[in-house]
Amino acid sequence: MEAVAVIDFETTGLSPAQGDRATEIAALIVHDGKVVDRYQSLMNAGVRIPPYIQALTGISDAMVRAAPPAAEVMREVADFVGDRPLVAHNAAFDCKFWDAELARIERRRRQEFACSLLLSRRILPQAPSHKLGALVEFAGLPLAGRSHRALADAEMAASLLRHLEDELRRRYQVREVSHELLRRIQGTPKAKLAQCLAGHRQAR
């Protein structure tokens, strides 16, 4: 697959529309299944983190106060990612924060997201849960560190993405996996997956 950027945000809550802000971001450049570059930073958006979120992520108000301003971090990470297609686990969530934080620095997203959650529901329907950590365990992939920290979660999403690519090649005989094909798969109803992949199968 072409180089893509796998990203993960930690935030103060679930909705930028309700005033929630990003507290940490990680972005990994993944090429042919390998992580070739990494960016990670806490960011200071000048907001308090609710105690239950601090308990969930381990990211405290003090840690964020000592971090660079959110605007500076978002400029850096947007430049780091460039025009590469994006991937995230439950991308609807990360897409909302990516767009909202970019809008604050008067920049706009130039590429589409693929979603490893939607993909795993189709490619690994037998998994007992489609939470990131549960999928990593189900697939026998290595744990990357503390869950609910941006870099560890991005590393796990990148290794899940590679596993999903491998499954498409092995189990579904897909010749070449591209970001565009992933987008097509995630937008296809589960029952029509075989039909969606028919034109992408290896000749046997």
Q: Is 13 in the site for DNA (CB under 7 A)?
A: yes
Structure tokens given for 190: 């589960």
By CB under 7 A, name the one of 5, 6, 7, 8 that touches DNA. Answer: 8
What is the nearest approach in angstroms of DNA to the Cβ of residue 179?
17
By CB under 7 A, name the one of 89, 162, 163, 179 that touches DNA. Answer: 89
* Element holding 196 (H helix, E strand): helix 193-197
CA distance 151 to 137: 18
Q: Is 86 in the site for DNA (CB under 7 A)?
A: no
CB atoms within 10 A of CB 97: 21
Question: CA 202 → CA 122, 161, 168, 175, 197, distances in Å?
Answer: 20, 20, 11, 5, 10
Check: CB of residue 105 under 8 Å from CB of residue 75: yes
By CB under 7 A, name the one of 2, 15, 37, 105 that touches DNA. Answer: 15
Structure tokens given for 66: 């000592």
Q: Is 163 in the site for DNA (CB under 7 A)?
A: no
Q: Is 75 in the site for DNA (CB under 7 A)?
A: no
Q: Name the DSSP class of 112.
A: P
Site string for DNA, 100-139 (x = CB under 7 A): -----------------xx--xx------xxxxxx-----
Q: Name the DSSP class of 29.
A: E
Interaction site with DNA (CB under 7 A)? 8-11, 13-15, 17-19, 23, 50, 53, 56-57, 89-90, 92-93, 117-118, 121-122, 129-134, 148, 153, 186, 189-190
